[in-house]
Structure 1
Amino acid sequence: MSKKRNLLLLTLLRCFFAFTLLVVVSSCSSDDNPIDVPEEGQPEPPETGTENGLTLISVNTNGVTIPDEPKIDAKLTITTDGQVVHTGDIGVEIRGSSSQFFPKKSYGVETWDSDGMDINVSLLGMPEEEDWILHGPYSDKSLIRNMLIYDLSRDMNRYASRTQFVELDVNSGKKGVYVFMEKLKRNDQRININKLKPDENSGEDLTGGYIIKIDKNDKGGYTPQNSFNSVYPPSNSTMGQEIRFLYEYPDEDDITVQQRDYISTYVANFEAALASDDFADPTIGYANYIDVDSFIDFFILNEISNNVDGYRISTYMHKDKNGKLNMGPIWDFNLAFGNADYCGGGETNVWAYKFNERCPDDFWAIPFWWDRLLEDPAFVAKLKSRWNELRGSTLADAAIFGKVDSYVTTLTDSKAVATNFGLWPILGSYVWPNNFIGNNYGEEITYLKQWVSARTLWLDDSIAAL
């Protein structure tokens, strides 16, 4: 049997195993799962959207089941402090990849006008746009991992999706705690790059802006129309894996042949320079093609959280007109911060970028870039300087824990934690791919804090030793 057929078989078996675990967990009853809920005789939690409660987002589809795709018509109502602050038409669909196996779904939302056309709207104080996400944390029982890393990124002056905790109601049925957030897309308030038009196919016009990503493509696979391949195999891979870059903006329906050729050639030239003997030359080496500072910050955010998906899934890059290739924005860290029990994802003392060494047969591997960049003394010196700067401010343990405590106060004072785990009684049970199983919400938060403390201590020593 060929390597590629072996690889496909292993991937299918892994997905089947994950699905089986999810089915088992979702069938657990509340009697087997101790949670923090009001005891008998104590006051009931306040209605969501009322004073001291989280903002309530209500979605009404008139009883129609929300599909994976396409988006269906619905009505959106947002209630804050007991007052309706927004009503309007939307399109809504289920979103996500492996997270779709969870009973608590995440949703993609578009704000529409009465004719079903996209319309830009400001929601929850965020800049006007039409595309939004309702992320439903499930295997992340802290409920806060994505919120935490996105806030840290913005504090480092790297754009990440703006977020807010809410409670969700779909067709009058409570769904628990959600994170309302911006979808990543080109916009002067999101990924701020030039709007590339279909007729911009030569000269300076052709140089930007582009968004590409390394990611799964569950809908239709990889084709020359939606992606291009690296000619360099990932380090330490053993199953003939390839690195594939998906066209995100312009997407496969809008990107022209000239634009596909330009961005794929640009990335190929960057990789060739990085692989060359002169890779560290500041003029003809890799630094001629990339924004080095963005690569360093991306590295730090993935390493401080030991993101098991880091560098290989949900990995975005962008390039503006006449600009260099930038890493980011970051995306999807619900399995980070010690929340994965495979490939070292739960450990505090391993490099996330060395994932391929621990799991050389995984279908989605990490490009050779990071091993090579760390061979350049200039890159390492900038990394050390940036790490030390951030550890004295944004990434100090006290600063991180202050954010965690603030989130927990918001969620517990509003009784949203009790509501969420009353609806989804999973505390004390394994949900794929938990590395730790707390008996109550407090234990989940304590684990997260202790994990971060051990991780930053290890990184202090390990970055200094590079």
Structure 2
Amino acid sequence: MPSAMNLCNMNKLSFLPLMATILLCLPKTDAATPTQLTNLPSVYLYTDNGASIDHDTYVSGTITVMDAAHPENCMTNEPMQIRGRGNSTWRMDKKPYSIKLGTPSHFLGCPANASTWEFIANYADKSMLRGATAFHLSEWIGLEFSPATAFADVYLNDKYIGNYHITDHMEIGADRVPVEVQDASTSDNLTGGYFLEVDGWATSEPHYFTTNHDMPVTIHYPEKISSKQTRYIQSFVQGFETKLFSSNFKDAEKGYRAVVDTVSLIKWYVAIELVGNPDAFWSTFIYKKKDNNHLFFGPLWDYDIAFNNDNRLGDATRKTMREDAHNPKTWIQQLWKDEWFRHASNMCLRQWIKNGVEEELCRYVDSMAVVLNASQTKNYECWNVLSTRVYREVNLYDTYQGYVDYLKTYIHQRVAFLSENFQAEDPYPAETGIGQTMAESFYYSPATHSLCFPVAKNRTITIYSAGGAKLQTLQAQGTTVSLPDLPHALYLIATDGELLKVVL
């Protein structure tokens, strides 16, 4: 079970005597003496002269952190700036915030050494666990970057304002979005990196463009982007879309797969269906790396109305996001027309189920509910809204445990539904009886038309037809093995006792 103190460094617990540690962390201030409210860290935010906070403009202040289990996370009157964040969430009574520390920090033990951090209020997510559970799934499935999770009791100008989920700001950097910083001195090197978002709010952003199929795309990085860079990345994204809607879009070399990282694409799509995020296509993060001609999908972000928490969809347990989520669904509905995409999605989900995704997510929810128990009690004493609809909640309960159980019930039912739905939509669902299990240690890269292995060794690779007839046998040694040119069809590739289904 995760530590009751801090999730970002839950393997580094050192349970020091509470009062002794608090004395070490006491700030020198004339204000009320900060104390640690529960087992979670307590974060005290002070604006200069008690200044009010608006959505767009940072105001200066200080931050103090009390963390008995991790004295290395304590802060005393450190300089910071704070402003509001979010769109619809900013209009709620319990406000979300962004803070910018004066000095970069592994804030609350989180991996990134960074200045800017997000304080998610979870006002409409009464389990307070939807975002954290989605981020845990992201880490479990191995996306390149998964936002960190820490929880804290938060005070603003000495007034308790509740439990907050504290996580990474969406930006490039070490232990954040894995995109290279562009060298401003070499303006001719335009290949990257770029951090983008298919964004329903794009028109309110300083840098954005719209594709030929009316997909609005915000450019988050570079922040100070040149006209050359804008033209380059707009052309690159448009190239992906053009291939996606071309007559050859299903072709591995001529279609969209030639310019997209298919591993992140499939993981991203299956994940957003599993958690049932209605805003998944309204807000989709994508990025491009330097000298890499592929578009990457991720990270996962913004899940307060996921897991069946948006009454505009009704009960969405048995609804697919590709059909029922909020617009724009232009890209995903075209992707679903590709047999390869449907088959890859089904194989991905079935592998996750085999690896225990349902059990893992429910275990995580249960363990985190224990971690948050004391803090959620204080939160709902402050915000007496457990049985009150404050936004789009589908169901209401009188107890915190009711919302935890609702979240777990959804996970169980969602896995069952998607398993049925993806299998029914898979154009190549039948097993062959060859006897191996689905491959876990190697995968097919359509960009290079090759198999990728974690280690180099002598191996025999056998290619079968979909019906199980042996077609070719290859002898190979490296970590990357080129495949022969074969007619477009489903193939079974066997090596080292594993079997991979792939459409070539």
Contact 1:349 1:458 in 2 (8 A): yes
Question: How far apart are the structure 1 equivalents of 2:240 and 2:176?
Answer: 25
Pick aligned residue for 2:140 from 124, 131, 155: 155
Pick aligned residue for 1:321 from 271, 281, 290: 290
Alpha-carbon deviations, 1:99-132, whole Å to 9, x = none?
01111011101011xxxxxx32221112211110
Question: How far apart are the structure 2 equivalents of 1:208 and 1:394?
Answer: 37
- Structure 1 residue 279, shift from structure 2 partner: 0.6
Q: TM-score, normalised by structure 2?
A: 0.74
Question: How far apart are the structure 1 equivalents of 2:387 and 2:141?
Answer: 35
Q: Hey, what does 1:376 align to over in structure 2?
A: 338
Q: In structure 2, the residue corresponding to 1:311 is in which secondary structure?
A: coil
Pick aligned residue for 1:446 from 379, 382, 405: 405
Question: How far apart are the structure 2 equivalents of 1:248 and 1:56?
Answer: 31
Q: Hey, what does 1:416 align to over in structure 2?
A: 375
Question: How far apart are the structure 2 equivalents of 1:248 and 1:295?
Answer: 20
Q: Hey, what does 1:85 align to over in structure 2?
A: 74
Q: Hey, what does 1:27 align to over in structure 2?
A: none
Alpha-carbon deviations, 1:264-318, whole Å to 9, x = none?
00111111111111111111110111011111111111101111111122x1100
Q: In structure 2, the residue corresponding to 1:207 is in which secondary structure?
A: coil
Q: Hey, what does 2:162 align to over in structure 1?
A: 176
Amino acid at match of 1:123: F
Pick aligned residue for 1:76 from 54, 63, 77: 63
Q: Hey, what does 1:10 align to over in structure 2?
A: none
Question: How far apart are the structure 2 equivalents of 1:418 and 1:328?
Answer: 34
Amino acid at match of 1:221: S
Question: How far apart are the structure 2 equivalents of 1:221 and 1:54?
Answer: 36
Contact 2:179 2:289 in 1 (8 A): yes
Alignment of 1:117-196 (within 5 A): 119-126=103-110, 127-158=112-143, 159-196=145-182
1:385 aligns to 2:347 (yes or no): yes
Q: Hey, what does 2:54 align to over in structure 1?
A: 67
Given the superposition, is the C-alpha separation of residues 102 and 319 from structure 1 closer, same or farther in structure 2, using an over 3 Å criterion? same
Point out the more displaced range, 74-83 or 269-278. Answer: 74-83
Q: Name the structure, 1 or 2, with higher relative contact order (CA <8 Å, separation 6+).
A: 1
Pick aligned residue for 1:304 from 249, 253, 274: 274
Alpha-carbon deviations, 1:425-449, whole Å to 9, x = none?
0011111111011111111111111
Given the superposition, is the C-alpha separation of residues 312 and 216 from structure 1 closer, same or farther in structure 2, using an over 3 Å criterion? closer
- Structure 1 residue 160, shift from structure 2 partner: 1.8
Q: In structure 2, the residue corresponding to 1:465 is in which secondary structure?
A: helix
- Structure 1 residue 49, shift from structure 2 partner: 2.4
Question: How far apart are the structure 2 equivalents of 1:285 and 1:166?
Answer: 47
1:464 aligns to 2:423 (yes or no): yes
1:455 aligns to 2:414 (yes or no): yes
Runs of 4+ aligned structure 1 residues displaced above 4 Å come to: none
Unaligned 5+ runs, structure 2: 1-33, 426-504
1:207 aligns to 2:177 (yes or no): no
Question: How far apart are the structure 2 equivalents of 1:328 and 1:394?
Answer: 22
- Structure 1 residue 48, shift from structure 2 partner: 6.2
1:103 aligns to 2:93 (yes or no): yes
Amino acid at match of 2:54: P
Amino acid at match of 1:268: Q
- Structure 1 residue 461, shift from structure 2 partner: 0.5
Contact 2:317 2:414 in 1 (8 A): yes
Question: How far apart are the structure 2 equivalents of 1:275 and 1:255?
Answer: 28
- Structure 1 residue 394, shift from structure 2 partner: 5.2
Unaligned 5+ runs, structure 1: 1-46, 113-118, 233-241, 360-364
Q: Hey, what does 2:234 align to over in structure 1?
A: 264
Which has the higher Rg, Structure 1 or Structure 2? Answer: 2
- Structure 1 residue 163, shift from structure 2 partner: 1.0
Question: How far apart are the structure 2 equivalents of 1:72 and 1:217?
Answer: 24
Total equivalences in the alignment: 385
Question: How far apart are the structure 2 equivalents of 1:451 and 1:386?
Answer: 20
Contact 1:60 1:75 in 2 (8 A): yes
1:281 aligns to 2:271 (yes or no): no
Contact 1:75 1:89 in 2 (8 A): yes
Pick aligned residue for 2:309 from 333, 339, 350: 339
Question: How far apart are the structure 1 equivalents of 2:92 and 2:51?
Answer: 20
Greater per-residue strand proportion = 2
Contact 1:275 1:372 in 2 (8 A): yes
Question: How far apart are the structure 1 equivalents of 2:190 and 2:381?
Answer: 53
Amino acid at match of 1:406: S
Amino acid at match of 1:168: V
Alignment of 1:36-55 (within 5 A): 49=36, 53-55=39-41
Given the superposition, is the C-alpha separation of residues 273 and 432 from structure 1 closer, same or farther in structure 2, using an over 3 Å criterion? same
Q: Hey, what does 2:204 align to over in structure 1?
A: 221
Contact 1:310 1:353 in 2 (8 A): no
- Structure 1 residue 322, shift from structure 2 partner: 1.9
Q: Hey, what does 1:8 align to over in structure 2?
A: none
Question: How far apart are the structure 1 equivalents of 2:345 and 2:54?
Answer: 44
Percent identity, aligned pairs only, is: 23
Amino acid at match of 1:63: G
Q: TM-score, normalised by structure 1?
A: 0.79
Given the superposition, is the C-alpha separation of residues 163 and 394 from structure 1 closer, same or farther in structure 2, using an over 3 Å criterion? farther
Q: Hey, what does 1:399 align to over in structure 2?
A: 360
- Structure 1 residue 418, shift from structure 2 partner: 1.1
Contact 1:90 1:111 in 2 (8 A): yes
Contact 1:48 1:54 in 2 (8 A): no
1:230 aligns to 2:211 (yes or no): yes
Alignment root-mean-square deviation, CA:
1.8
Contact 1:318 1:327 in 2 (8 A): yes
Q: Hey, what does 1:13 align to over in structure 2?
A: none
Contact 1:48 1:55 in 2 (8 A): no
Contact 2:200 2:216 in 1 (8 A): no
